């Protein structure tokens, strides 16, 4: 879906919204610049009014106004509806807008399921190193998921969420952004962080909550964050990141720093009130933000058919005045194209853009979920085998001559080795010191919490049989 914005000076836009000369005179009474052109714009209805020359700047403005031709003004049709907030024509036909009567929003794609380009004009001009990097990051994320998922099943970590089936969305969109663009995420966006340079050790440290975890063991596993990589820390409640992302985008707009905000969310989060508030605020405040919806078919166990009516999430965009597109989420090249184009629109026009990426969640919602209770194994196998984003992208780069079976074997061995080594290092690191409970809350710890910290440290030291301090980083002096 293509959109464009024709910028109209607010003065002339105001003129188009009034229906008579008297109203125009009232709205311009206190507008100095407007008064300069008032007599020329409406010479056919009112007499020219003398304007006092208060200073040289005003005199210069008048001379410029007289020297330039009057702007063309479209004639006002007094028989057209002029209700605020709508673009309408009159009708005498009593007819409701029925959602079933509208065609579905099309799904943009670049390549088919066999990895073949459908339209050469749509193929992005990406070089071999970039395409190979994209494939390697997708597969590395997949290997990391497998190891950490099994780690949870073995009781080594407490929780995990995989990205199976959505690797193309994450890597494709990350590649289409500037690495300094601020990312607000839900919880299934580790691939974006991996693309930006978050290391396997950092992922493992966070999931194990050891002493080198950036969050110091205070967050659940998969709740990553990195200020250095412009990636806001994951928060569990759905959609809370969405209005916050709009606030950051508004700040970016005021700062004019050349960056945008991207906010990832799922189809389940789109049903939260925070999502609607975020859409509306971003549109009315003209915020440079991309709303990126991963529509993977399920909100935990709730299928989309039970979650909303209408044509998906994309159909909501136009209602809020947001440029919108729907894309094949398993087509990494299409994801790259739409993200890059959305960034250009958002940055150049200072407005939000909505992307709905259609995909399928192959894995369970999390390690706390058993998806076989609400969907068939055959359904999952179909998507995994017939429309897997990794397999499709591999076919594409193989056809380009950038990949082959030998490289695949070498890379698999290398990637698995990297993941296992990071896993082993993280598992053998100590847990954070218990006193970390009191850190990073106040800039300067209040006296009563200093007292509590001392009491806690004295207590755990005097009860070593209950507190295995050898497994934790050393505590400071009491």
Domain limits for position 445: 434-471
Domain match, 367 and 414 both: yes
Domain-located, residue 183: yes
158 is a catalytic site residue: no
**Do residues 324 and 352 touch, judged by C-beta distance below 8 A?**
no
Output phi, psi for 213, to 5 deg: -65, 130
**Do residues 217 and 209 touch, judged by C-beta distance below 8 A?**
yes
Domain stops at, among 41, 67, 93: 67
**Residue 352 vs residues 154, 284, 308, 323: alpha-carbon distances, Å:** 44, 10, 23, 7
- pLDDT for 38: 42
Domain-located, residue 196: yes
The count of domains in the chain is: 3
- pLDDT for 50: 52
Domain match, 290 and 237 both: yes
Domain match, 140 and 285 both: yes
What's the pLDDT tens digit per position in 70-83? 666 666 667 888 88
366 is a catalytic site residue: yes
Catalytic residue among 38, 163, 364, 365: 365
Domain-located, residue 312: yes
Domain-located, residue 331: yes
What's the pLDDT tens digit per position in 57-72? 677 777 777 777 766 6
In the predicted model, what is the mean pLDDT of the chain?
89
What's the pLDDT tens digit per position in 321-343? 999 999 999 999 999 999 999 99
Domain match, 144 and 42 both: no
Domain-located, residue 340: yes
Domain match, 156 and 12 both: no
Domain match, 466 and 368 both: no
Domain-located, residue 91: no
Domain match, 233 and 355 both: yes
Q: Give the rounded percent of residues in the chain with a pLDDT score beyond 90.
A: 79
Residue 27 burial by Cβ neighbours in a 10 Å radius (0-12, 13-18, 19+):
middle
Domain match, 38 and 151 both: no
**Residue 298 vs residues 269, 274, 276, 410: alpha-carbon distances, Å:** 11, 19, 19, 35
Domain-located, residue 256: yes
Domain match, 274 and 190 both: yes
Catalytic residue among 48, 66, 128, 150: 150
Q: Give the rounded percent of residues in the chain with a pLDDT score beyond 70.
A: 86
Among residues 268, 301, 241, 264, the alpha carbon closest in space to that of 190 is found at: 264
Q: How far is 242 from 344, CA to CA, in rounded Å?
A: 20
Output phi, psi for 183, to 5 deg: -110, 120
Catalytic residue among 48, 68, 236, 455: 236
Query: What region, left, alpha or beta, does residue 275 occupy, with left being phi > 0 and alpha being psi -120 to 50 degrees?
Result: alpha
Token reading at 129: 């190193």
Domain-located, residue 53: yes
Domain match, 162 and 146 both: yes
- Rounded to a whole number of angstroms, the CA Rg of the chain reads 29
Domain stops at, among 395, 412, 428: 428
- pLDDT for 77: 63
For CA atoms 377, 380, 386, 390, give the dihedral sign. negative
Query: What region, left, alpha or beta, does residue 95 occupy, with left being phi > 0 and alpha being psi -120 to 50 degrees?
Result: beta
Catalytic residue among 366, 371, 433, 436: 366
176: helix, coil or strand? coil
- pLDDT for 80: 86
Domain match, 246 and 381 both: yes
Kindly report the number of other CB atoms within 10 A of residue 148's CB atom.
Answer: 27
Among residues 236, 159, 223, the alpha carbon closest in space to that of 190 is found at: 223
| Residue found by looking up tokens 């935990």 in the block | 300
What's the pLDDT tens digit per position in 8-49? 333 333 334 333 434 434 444 444 444 444 444 444 444 444
pTM: 0.82
The CATH number linked to 180 is 3.40.50.970
Higher local confidence (pLDDT), 29 or 435: 435
Domain match, 411 and 440 both: no
């Amino acid at each position: 879906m293509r959109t464009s914005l024709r910028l109209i000076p607010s003065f002339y836009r105001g003129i188009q919204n009034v229906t008579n000369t008297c109203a125009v005179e009232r709205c311009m009474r206190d507008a100095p610049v407007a008064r300069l052109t008032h007599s020329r714009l409406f010479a056919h209805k009112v007499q020219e009014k003398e304007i006092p020359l208060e200073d040289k700047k005003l005199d210069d403005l008048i001379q410029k106004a007289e020297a330039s031709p009057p702007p063309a003004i479209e004639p006002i049709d007094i028989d057209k509806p002029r209700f605020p907030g709508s673009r309408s024509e009159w009708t005498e036909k009593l007819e409701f807008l029925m959602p079933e009567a509208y065609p579905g929003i099309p799904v943009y794609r670049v390549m088919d399921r066999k990895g073949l380009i459908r339209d050469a004009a749509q193929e992005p001009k990406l070089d071999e190193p970039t395409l190979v990097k994209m494939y390697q990051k997708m597969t590395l994320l997949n290997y990391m998921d497998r190891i950490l998922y099994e780690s949870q099943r073995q009781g080594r970590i407490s929780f995990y969420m995989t990205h199976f089936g959505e690797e193309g969305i994450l890597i494709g969109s990350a590649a289409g952004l500037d690495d300094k663009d601020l990312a607000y995420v839900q919880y299934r966006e580790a691939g974006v962080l991996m693309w930006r340079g978050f290391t396997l050790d950092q992922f493992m440290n966070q999931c194990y909550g050891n002493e080198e975890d950036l969050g110091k063991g205070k967050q659940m596993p998969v709740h990553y964050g990195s200020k250095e990589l412009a990636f806001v820390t994951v928060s569990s409640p759905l959609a809370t990141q969405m209005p916050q992302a709009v606030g950051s985008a508004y700040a970016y707009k005021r700062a004019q720093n050349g960056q945008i905000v991207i906010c990832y969310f799922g189809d389940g989060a789109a049903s939260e009130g925070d999502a609607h508030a975020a859409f509306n605020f971003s549109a009315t405040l003209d915020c440079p933000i991309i709303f990126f919806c991963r529509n993977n078919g399920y909100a935990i166990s709730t299928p989309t058919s039970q979650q909303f009516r209408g044509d998906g999430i994309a159909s909501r965009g136009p209602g809020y005045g947001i440029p919108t597109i729907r894309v094949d989420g398993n087509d990494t090249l299409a994801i790259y194209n739409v993200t890059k184009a959305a960034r250009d629109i958002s940055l150049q026009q200072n407005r939000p853009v909505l992307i709905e990426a259609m995909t399928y969640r192959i894995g369970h919602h999390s390690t706390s979920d058993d998806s076989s209770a609400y969907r068939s194994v055959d359904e999952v196998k179909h998507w995994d085998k017939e429309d897997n984003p990794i397999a499709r992208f591999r076919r594409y780069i193989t056809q380009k001559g950038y990949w082959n079976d030998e490289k695949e074997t070498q890379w698999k061995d290398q990637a698995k080795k990297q993941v296992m080594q990071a896993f082993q290092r993280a598992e053998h690191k100590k847990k954070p010191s218990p006193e970390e409970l009191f850190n990073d809350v106040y800039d300067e710890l209040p006296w009563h919490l200093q007292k509590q910290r001392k009491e806690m440290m004295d207590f755990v030291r005097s009860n070593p049989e209950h507190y295995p301090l050898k497994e934790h980083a050393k505590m400071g002096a009491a």
